[in-house]
Amino acid sequence: MNKPLLIGITGGTGSGKSTVSKKILKSIHEKNVAIIEQDSYYKNQSHLSYEERVNTNYDHPFAFDNDLLVKHLKALLDNKTIEKPIYDFENHTRKDETITVCPKEIIILEGILILNDEEIRNLCDIKIFVDTDSDVRVIRRIERDIKERGRTLDSVINQYMTTVRPAHLQFVEPSKRYADIIIPEGGYNKVAIDIIVTKINSILDK
């Protein structure tokens, strides 16, 4: 198999990164695509107390094990299988289990800080920034964290104001300048999705 195509999709929390990924998947055979979420690569915190883990700033670059992420991306690009970690968002640490990910023609990497890291963005063949209004993003964040991650409304709002918003302004928003494509309104921008899929197919055809 030829060297896989690595597509990086980033943007603020709740911007619609996963929706963009799903729209791309609908236009390409899923069997040819592997998805890697940066969220899976939060650092293992099993050595910390629960209270310490809760107080971790998960929107800061230091929260991610980017060394492992880079190692895994390079392995996939070298057509090698990896064991992707699983993060437990209720207990705030990495699980013992892993998920086996095999190399595919296309690798989609999604996460809020993938363009903030020079080594990661240099591995990406296509870099996409999903740009969505902050009020829409915060509502999506509240819905997701309450439904999927067992959080309370107060905890989500407190986290957003104390760490998520400041980190977005400091790290996520400035990384937009590294993007090849900026998509306003994420997966609802059909024209942008069509352009991206056309570009992907043109690269694969070569």
pLDDT of residue 181: 92
The sign of the torsion formed by the CA atoms of 183, 189, 191, 194 equals positive
Q: What is the pLDDT of residue 141?
A: 83
CA atoms within 13 A on the CB side of 90: 5
Distance from C-alpha of 201 to C-alpha of 198, rounded to nearest angstrom = 5
Q: Is 36 a domain residue? A: yes
pLDDT tens for 116-127 read 999 999 999 999
How many contiguous H segments (helices) and E segments (strands) does the chain have? 8, 7
Is residue 162 assigned to a domain?
A: yes
- Say if 193 falls within a structural domain: yes
| Structural domain of 139 | 5-201
The pLDDT of 68-74, averaged and rounded, is: 98
**Whole-number Å distance between alpha carbons of 54 and 52:** 5
Asked whether residue 47 is assigned to any structural domain, the reply reads: yes
Angle at 19 between CA 18 and CA 21, to 5 degrees: 65
Number of domains the chain contains: 1
Arithmetic mean of pLDDT over the chain: 89
The predicted model gives 91-104 an average pLDDT of 92
Q: Is residue 152's pLDDT more than 70?
A: yes
Residue 206, domain member (yes or no): no
Residue 185 has a pLDDT of: 75
Alpha-carbon distance of 178 to 195, in angstroms, equals 18
Residues 6+ positions from 185 with CB-CB distance below 8 Å? 16, 131, 132
Domain with residue 133: its CATH number is 3.40.50.300
Sheet of strand 106-110, all strands in order from the earlier edge strand to the far edge: 33-37, 106-110, 5-11, 126-131, 181-184
Please compute the mean of the pLDDT values over residues 119-141 and round it to a whole number.
90
Q: Cα 166–168–173 angle (5° rounding)?
A: 130
- Percent of the chain scored above 70 by pLDDT? 98
Token pair listed for 119: 């080594």
Reduced to 3 states (helix: H, G, I; strand: E, B; else coil), residue 92 is coil
- pLDDT at site 4: 93
Quick: pLDDT tens for 15-33. Answer: 888 888 888 888 887 778 9
Where residue 85 falls among pLDDT bands split at 50, 70, 90?
very high
pTM of the model: 0.88
pLDDT band at 59 (very low <50, low <70, confident <90, very high): confident
Query: What confidence tens digit (pLDDT) does each residue in 153-200 have?
Result: 888 888 888 888 998 999 999 999 999 999 987 767 889 888 888 988
Question: How is residue 53 written in tokens?
Answer: 């883990």
Query: CB of 16 within 8 A of CB of 185?
Result: yes
pLDDT of residue 1: 63
